[in-house]
Amino acid sequence: MNPRRKFLKTTSLAAVSTPFLSFDSEKNWSLNSLQKAYNNPEDYWRMIRKQFPLKEGQTYFNNGTMGPTPGYVIDQIMHHMMHYNKEAATIDYKNGSGPELLSGYFPYEDLRTKLSKIVNCDFKELSLVQNATFGMNYVGMGLDLKSGDELLNTDQEHGGGFAAWQLLAKRKGCIYKQAKMPVPANDPQEIVDVIFREVTPKTKVIAIPHIVSGYGTVMPVKAICSEARKRGIFTVLDGAQCVGHVKVDVKEIGCDAYYSSLHKWLLAPAGSGLLYLNKDVSPGIWSTIASYQWDNQEDHGFRLMQNGTGNAALLAGYDAAVDFFNTVGQERWLGRIKELGSYLRSGLREMPHVTIESSTNEEMAAGITTYGVAGISGPDLQKTMWEKEKLQPRSVGDKNIRHSVHIYNSKEEIDKALDVIKGLG
């Protein structure tokens, strides 16, 4: 282990095991309580709720936009910022006595290794990027595309999931197309069919969401990538809503590229994203931003991270969020999200005045449910939930509301939402 990595590991462990200035002096934020066993699972999740500085009496149901950061993670960020500002004169990043303050020039192998185990790849296939939009652009701008090449999205892309492909079409003369998705989507084969109905011999890229942001549909991405590979088509998956939400195994899926925003379901601080490029295709992706290691052929993930000075404290928080996730455990974490999502949908299905726009096929659903209530607009429904019970989902469009559930939520909070909706019938 080189001196810098030894220093980082030592200081990281010290931060976990010794007290330091906290953003909330009344709380002892740590990972220790996450490891405890409880006879009643609901007791465990009530303890988890206390790990977040969310206000009591208010319920956050908008994790699909931004996940609240655990107190432990915020403490690690604050500690990093305070310590390395106080000790500025004693730190020299060149001789190994200090942290990787100029974050965009360093490989962050330890963090990338942790992430690689979550999504199942070699750490050198991963780049730390700011968010999913950055990942999409690094792939799109790095591909060698020419006039007449066809680029295929769906009509349910997030704005951060289609813009780069539209830009490329305009800039390079490519042909931009969208496959029209069903609403609701309950049949995986129907989705595969509508996508490949748009494919021609000129199709070079299929770029689709793993989970549709607006509806929460878990797409049959493995089947789509398998068929695309047979046809020599490059596949890019928008996983903005996925890591920390559903199981992500990029090798099993078989995609060429995958990107995600971990400030959503992994509950990392804003500015925490990842980009996966399969090692078989990464040499053919040009660097979008060039700095010292822009042509590094030994570590392509690091090559695409050459973006200059960044906020190292946020990367310390990113690392802490991964530790938080791993301490709770992937199976328990993902299982709880699925359990709460199913609980909400089960309640909604019993109400005749509710129209569920998300998939009602539980194999294609997880923690996001989009629905409408007869006689009330989405914005008014959001307002009503807040006024009556201090519940905060998010309205989408004029008619619907998108309701995200996560490990800090409870069935009691979902029951409050169902009671409000029932009263509108």
Look at residue 95 in the predicted model and tell me its pLDDT: 62
Look at residue 90 in the predicted model and tell me its pLDDT: 79
Look at residue 101 in the predicted model and tell me its pLDDT: 66
Look at residue 83 in the predicted model and tell me its pLDDT: 85
For residue range 359-410, list pLDDT tens digits in order. Answer: 999 999 999 999 999 999 999 999 999 999 999 999 998 999 999 999 999 9
For residue range 100-131, list pLDDT tens digits in order. Answer: 567 777 899 999 999 999 999 999 999 999 99
More confident residue, 86 or 151: 151
Look at residue 354 in the predicted model and tell me its pLDDT: 98
For residue range 255-286, list pLDDT tens digits in order. Answer: 999 999 999 999 999 999 999 999 999 999 99
Confidence of residue 96 (pLDDT cuts 50, 70, 90): low
Residue 2 has pLDDT above 80, yes or no: no
Q: Supply 14's token pair.
A: 């010290």
Give the integer Cα–Cα distance in Å for 388 and 383.
Answer: 9
Strand partners, 12: none
Average per-residue pLDDT for the chain: 91
Give the lowest-confidence range in 23-27, 32-36, 152-156, 297-301: 23-27
More confident residue, 156 or 290: 156
Pick from 306, 308, 309: which is nearest to 293 by CA?
Answer: 306
Instruction: Read off the pTM.
Output: 0.92
Look up residue 67 and give its DSSP letter: P
Q: How far is CA 25 from CA 32, 75, 255, 256, in A?
A: 18, 10, 45, 46
Residue 8 has pLDDT above 60, yes or no: no
For residue range 317-354, list pLDDT tens digits in order. Answer: 999 999 999 999 999 999 999 999 999 999 999 999 99
Helix axis angle for 109-119 and 3-17, nearest 10°, is: 70
CB neighbourhood size of 175 (10 A): 15
E strands, 239-341, where?
A: 257-261, 273-277
E strands, 253-409, where?
A: 257-261, 273-277, 354-356, 368-373, 391-392, 394-396, 400-404
- % of the chain surpassing 70 pLDDT: 93
Structural contact between residues 126 and 299, judged by C-beta atoms closer than 8 angstroms? no
> Domains in the chain, ordered, with CATH?
109-322 (3.40.640.10), 331-422 (3.90.1150.10)
Cβ-based burial of 70 (10 A; exposed 0-12, middle 13-18, buried ≥19) = buried
For residue range 218-230, list pLDDT tens digits in order. Answer: 999 999 999 999 9
Peptide bond into 352 cis (omega under 30): no
Q: Supply 72's token pair.
A: 């432990």
Confidence of residue 10 (pLDDT cuts 50, 70, 90): very low
Look at residue 377 in the predicted model and tell me its pLDDT: 97
Largest CA distance in the chain: 68
Angle at alpha carbon of residue 62, lines to 56 and 66, rounded to 5°? 100
Give the lowest-confidence range in 77-81, 176-180, 332-336: 77-81
Residue 307 has pLDDT above 90, yes or no: no
